[in-house]
Every structure is written in structure tokens, then in C-alpha cells.
Amino acid sequence: MSFDGRLLAGMSVLAAVVETGSFTRAGEVLGLSASGVSRSISRLEARMGVRLLDRTTRALHLTGEGARLYELAAPHLSGIEDAANVVSGAAVTVRGTLRVSLNPVFARNVLAPRLPEFTERYPELDLVVVQLPDAGDLVTEGIDVAVRFGPQPASGMSSRLLLETRVLTVASPSYLKKHGRPTTPEKLAGHDCIQYIDPQHGKPFHWEFHRGKEILPVETTGRLTLTDVDTMVGACVAGVGVAQVLALGVEHLLASGALVELFPDWPGETFPLYVIRPSRRLPPAAVEAFLEFCWELCHGPRTAPASS
């Protein structure tokens, strides 16, 4: 097949559709109408001789051939865009609009108190913060960067570990006064344990306890099952039952005595927090600026190596 500029243009449109999730959003990115995007995809399909997208009134899905074409072409399109960004200066200028999806625990306890610093540092950048479930589709929602808890499934997305926070087993003084304090994790079998749904699998998390190389799984039951962290913590403080929570975000409740850590002698279980990029074909300076700021929030500014 001979190469011409129309093929490259069609591939760029296809990539924009895949990465934004709709003809309309792709058109906004490319400066085209939704019908113009649709016509471009149709011309590309005619040139390739295969159907690349299955279209319905509600969704777009890559066909097998379309997924293969995108997988092979995306790195090359990214390289072309990176080269153009370097020449144009966009790679070093933080500006435009950045859409980020943040886990609410991170957003409330880590990012929000420092947001003025970020906006003052990058006055030409508009930050749009949305909340999606930790298993939400970033590409379909047009998200540039996400911050999520939990091991990330294998995918074409780029992820970076920000931190690991301890998993604590806690209860309120009122609950312990009424039901007694369990002396070992195994004693939780006789207690009302608040269950929390794993957003990636749709089932309650299994309770484990870690100490050095020792891992102790414990079967727990409870009458309350939740998908919202704030509700779980509030219910635990109110005395509904025992809960497993992340240390990040409950430090003040432990310090005030509103919650009591039950098993400090099992301190080893942690839960990871990742920052994720759904695609490399994004405004590089804005994305990198946000990634670096998240890193600073968790670890402090990076220090340059001492000069000899």
C-alpha cells in the first residue's frame, strides 16, 4: 500500500476517537465536526478494506482489525506528536485543560489542601477534576490522568506507583465497650465486620493480616456492605462494626480517639496508590507537571544530586 498524507490524517482521527471515546469529543480535539470525524473514519475503512469501528447509538467499539491497527500505529503517532511538541514548545509549556480523575481519599486528604499551590504554579492550566469509580473507563470519559488505589490490571496504560499506605483494622470505643475488643485477628469471626466492595472485581475485599513474611487470611462477616469509603468510616465511628481502612485519611480519627487500631502488632499490610496515564498522546508538559506535583505531595520535591 502506498503512503500518502490522507492515510496519516485518517489514522490520527482514529486515534483521537479511540482515546476520547466518541466522535464528538474527537472532533473537539481535532477541530472537526462529529460528522467530519465519521466521514474520515469511513474513508479510512474504505482505504483499509476492513471495518475498524462498530458504531451504536450509545457507544463505539474497535473491531478486532481496528484494535490491531491502533495497537501498531499508536506508538508511531505518539512519536510524531512528541517531535512536533518539542519543536512547537508545547512540550515545555504547561497550558490548556487537563482532566483528572482522583480517588476521593487522595483528593480530599492530599491534593485539596495544596491545590492553591498548583494553580499558582501553572496559571495557564485549567484543571478539571472528576470522580470516577476506580474501575471506570478513562478513555471513554476523556481522562488525561487518574489517581487510583489498588493493584492496576495489565493494560496499555502507563502507571506509576505514588505511595503505599497501611491497611488498619479499627473500631470505635463505643463498639468495643458494647462487644469487647478482639485480642487476635481470628477473634473477628465473632464480630460484625463492615464489608467494602472491591471496585475492580465487584466483590468484598478479603481480610488479611501481615506481619513480616507471615500472612493470615481471616473470614469475616457483617450486616453492612458498602462501596463508599466515607460512609464506611462514618459507620465505623458511629459504632456499627469493625472496619479495615487505609491509614491515609484517618490519622486524625486515631489521634482523637474516635477510632482505635485493634492489631498494631500486625503492621505489614499495605495498599498501593498509582497515578495512571491512559495514553502517551496527551499534552506532555501539563501531564508531566501534574504527575510531578502528585509525587511532591507524597514524597516532597525531588532533590538534585550534589555537584562534585
What is the C-alpha to C-alpha distance for residues 81 and 18, in angstroms, rounded to an integer? Answer: 16
Residue among 86, 92, 260 at smallest CA distance from 172: 260
Pairing mode of beta strands 270-277, 214-218: unpaired
Domain contains 304 = no
The span from the CA of 265 to the CA of 107, in Å, is 30
Q: What was the pLDDT predicted at 306?
A: 42
Is there a domain that residue 182 lies in? yes
Number of domains in the chain: 3
pLDDT of residue 70: 82
Whose CA is closest to 51, among 36, 35, 69, 66?
A: 66
For 18, residues 6+ apart whose C-beta sits below 8 A from its C-beta are 62, 70, 139
Question: Are the CB atoms for 263 and 170 separated by under 8 Å?
Answer: no
In a domain, 146, yes or no: yes
Q: Which domain holds residue 254?
A: 164-271
Distances (CA, A) of 215 to 170, 207, 208, 212, 218: 18, 10, 7, 8, 10
227, 246: one domain: yes
Contacts of residue 128, defined as CB under 8 A and 6 or more positions apart, other chains included, come to 97, 98, 99, 100
Domain containing residue 75: CATH number: 1.10.10.10
Whole-angstrom distance between the N-terminal and C-terminal Cα of the chain?
56
Last residue of a domain, which of 58, 88, 118? 88
Instruction: Give the pLDDT confidence score for residue 182 in this predicted structure.
Output: 97
Cα angle 49, 55, 59; round to 5:
145
Q: Which regions in the chain score pLDDT beneath 70?
A: 1-5, 56-58, 78-92, 133-137, 140, 153-157, 279-284, 302-308
Strands (E), 131-263: 145-149, 158-171, 195-198, 203-204, 207-211, 214-218, 225-226, 243-246, 260-261
The CATH number assigned to the domain holding 221 equals 3.40.190.290
Output the pTM of the full model: 0.67
Best CA proximity match to 13, nearest among 34, 35, 41: 41
- On whether both 221 and 237 belong to a single domain, the answer is yes
Q: Do the beta carbons of residue 12 and residue 43 sit within 8 Å?
A: no
**Cα(91)–Cα(81) distance, rounded to whole angstroms?**
10
Look up cell 504547561; give the residue. 94
Could you tell me if 170 and 22 lie in one domain?
A: no
Domain shared by 266 and 200, yes or no: yes
Task: Report the distance separating Cα 79 and Cα 36, nearest Å.
Answer: 25
Q: How far apart are CA 242 and CA 305, in angstroms?
A: 46
User: Is there a single domain that holds both residue 144 and residue 47?
Assistant: no
Domain match, 154 and 173 both: no
Report the alpha-carbon distance of residue 278 to residue 186 in Å, rounded.
Answer: 41
